[in-house]
Amino acid sequence: MNNIDTTRHVDVFSPDAFGNRRIDVIGAGASGSRIVLALAKLGLENIHVFDFDVVEAHNIANQVFSQSDIGRPKVEALRDIVKAHTGLEITIYNERVDGSQKLGDVVFLLTDTMSSRKEIWQKAIRYKVATKLMIETRMGVDQGRVYVVNPTRSAQVKGWEETLYDDDVAEVSACGTTISVGPTAEFLSGLAVWQLIRWLNIETGKASEGGADQLDHEILFCLRPPTILNRQFDQLV
């Protein structure tokens, strides 16, 4: 039973309206660890997390882990953190996503490299009809990107695939930068979770006026100075 008191946000996001839809979070790093905790605090229970890495000392500065987690598998440490904060149990997988796993309705694609994202997209998401929403994030020092894609919509798929590039020429590294700043990860993670909230409001007919009934498929931000740009892939064809 969900014991999270959602009184303060239920008018914006209702766990009951989201129902038992499954959320898969692939990658429990700077953005992934924060996103998982934020989803649980929204009152969502059917959360599945994939990561095969362990917590290292340099992760403490920009991820949700603590000193006592060093050396532990990230998914195990994150499970305990979520439990301590919310009382909820998440499902964890200390493994790579290789296409053999059955992913759910919503997928957050948050791995460290562009090459791994391409591989997971092709093997586990692209042709799987179960997934209705994919949210991907990319983070630099003071900038980032959030992509929101329905894998069944060809225009959105085309628009997103055109943003993919090789790791050696990536302008914004996916958590693989030599410098990673916690506040940037905080901003990026919040922005990504908000896209899930917007999606649910559209799905349930609660979207407000003023264009909020359409998702932005690409959101780019810079924090020095604060700037946000967005576009919709559906309008490109």
Structural domain that includes position 47: 19-236
Please give the structure tokens belonging to residue 56: 């290292």
The predicted model scores a pTM of 0.93
128, burial (CB in 10 Å: exposed 0-12, middle 13-18, buried 19+) = middle
- Is 29 a domain residue? yes
Residue 12 is assigned to a structural domain of this protein: no
Is residue 100 included in any domain, yes or no? yes
Tens-place pLDDT, residues 28-86: 999 999 999 999 999 999 999 999 999 999 999 999 999 999 999 999 999 999 999 99
The token pair that represents 77 in the structure block: 């440490």
Domain count, the chain: 1
CATH number, domain with residue 73? 3.40.50.720
* Range of lowest pLDDT (15-24, 79-88, 133-142, 206-215): 206-215
The full length of the chain comes to: 237
E strands in the chain: 23-26, 47-50, 91-93, 106-109, 133-139, 143-149, 218-223, 226-231
Query: What type of residue sits at position 171?
Result: E
The amino acid sitting at 86 is T
In a domain, 187, yes or no: yes
What residues contact residue 161 under an 8 Å CB cut-off, 6+ apart? none
Radius of gyration of the chain (CA): 17
Q: How far apart are CA 53 and CA 39, in angstroms?
A: 21
How many angstroms separate the CA atoms of 87 and 197, rounded? 22
**H helix runs in 139-215, sequence order:** 154-161, 182-203
The string of pLDDT tens digits covering residues 122-158 is: 999 998 889 999 999 999 889 999 999 999 999 999 9
Flag whether 203 is in a domain: yes
What does the alpha-carbon distance between residue 189 and residue 32 come to, in Å, rounded to a whole number?
Answer: 8
pLDDT band for position 213 (50/70/90)? low
In a domain, 96, yes or no: yes
Query: DSSP H helical segments within the chain, as ranges?
Result: 15-18, 30-41, 74-86, 114-120, 154-161, 182-203
In a domain, 2, yes or no: no
In a domain, 1, yes or no: no
Query: % helix / strand / coil in the chain, to the nearest 5?
Result: 35, 20, 45
Q: By the 8 A CB rule, do 52 and 95 touch?
A: yes
